Amino acid sequence: MNILFVGDVFGRPGREALLRWLPDYVQEHAVEFVVVNGENAANGAGITSKIARRLLAGGVDVLTTGNHVWRQKELFAFLASDDRIVRPANYPSGAPGRGLTVRPAADGEEVAVINLAGELYLNSGLSPFRIVDGLVEEAQQLAETIVVDLHAEATSEKVAMGHYLDGRVTAVLGTHTHVQTSDARVLPGGTAYMTDVGMTGPRDSVIGVRTDIIVRRFTTELPQQFEVADEGPVRLNAALIATAGGRATSIHAVDVIL
C-alpha cells in the first residue's frame, strides 16, 4: 500500500493548492490512503467543519490536527461526530473527538491513524509517552497498518517516539514546525520516520504568515495581528510511504512548488 501524508496545510493558499494537486498525484503514484494535517487550514488557526468536509471530499481519508484544534469552536460537534478527523489523544478525555481512528484504504485494507501532541513547549498536559502504548495496542487489534502523527515542537521528543515505536507501527511522522526535515528513513524495525513533514502553504512567508508582520514582531517586540501570506507560490510538503504487511518498505519526502 502507498500512503501519502501531507504536512500542515496553512490557510486558503495551502488548502486550494492541495486540492488542485492531489488527484493527479494520487493517480500517478497509486496512493491508496491520504492523511493530511489540517491544523492551520482555517486562516492559519485551526480548521472549520466546512473546510474539513471540503478536504475530505477532495480525496483526503483522515485529517489530523494539533495544538490549534480548539481555535474554531464550531468544529467541536464535527470532531465528536465524524471519525475521519482526529485530535491529539493526550488532550483531556472529556474533550470532543478522538485521538485514534480506523478507516478503509482504497483497496479495502483498514488503516489506523493516531494523533498525539508533544509535551515539551506545547504544554499538552500529558506526555504522549504515557498513553501511546495503550493506543498502539488498541490500533493493532483493528488494523495492520498504523500511522502516528506526533504534533510536537521538540525534535528530541519526535526522534525518541520514532525509536520507541519502531517495529510496532507503520510510520511515525512529525508535524508542527512547518519546516521539512531531511531525515526521512525506515528505522531498523520497519517503521517509516520523519522528524517533520513540513508545511503546505505560502512559500514566501514566515511559516505561513506574511513576512513583514513577523519581521516587525521580532524587531519591535510588540504584538502583531497575524495574516496568511496570500501572494506567490505554494510549497507543498509531504511524505510518500510504501508499506507491506504493516511495515514500511520506503519513505520519500515530497517537496514541490505549486
Residues labelled catalytic: 68
The size of the chain, in residues, is 258
Grid cell 526535515 — which residue?
Answer: 181
Count other Cβ atoms within 10 Å, centred on residue 93: 9
C-alpha grid cell, residue 249:
518498505
**Which among 157, 220, 146 is positioned nearest to 189, based on CA atoms?**
146
List, in sequence order, every residue forming a beta bridge with 253; answer none if it has no partner: 239
Please answer whether residues 143 and 135 qualify as being in contact, where contact means their C-beta atoms are separated by less than 8 angstroms: no
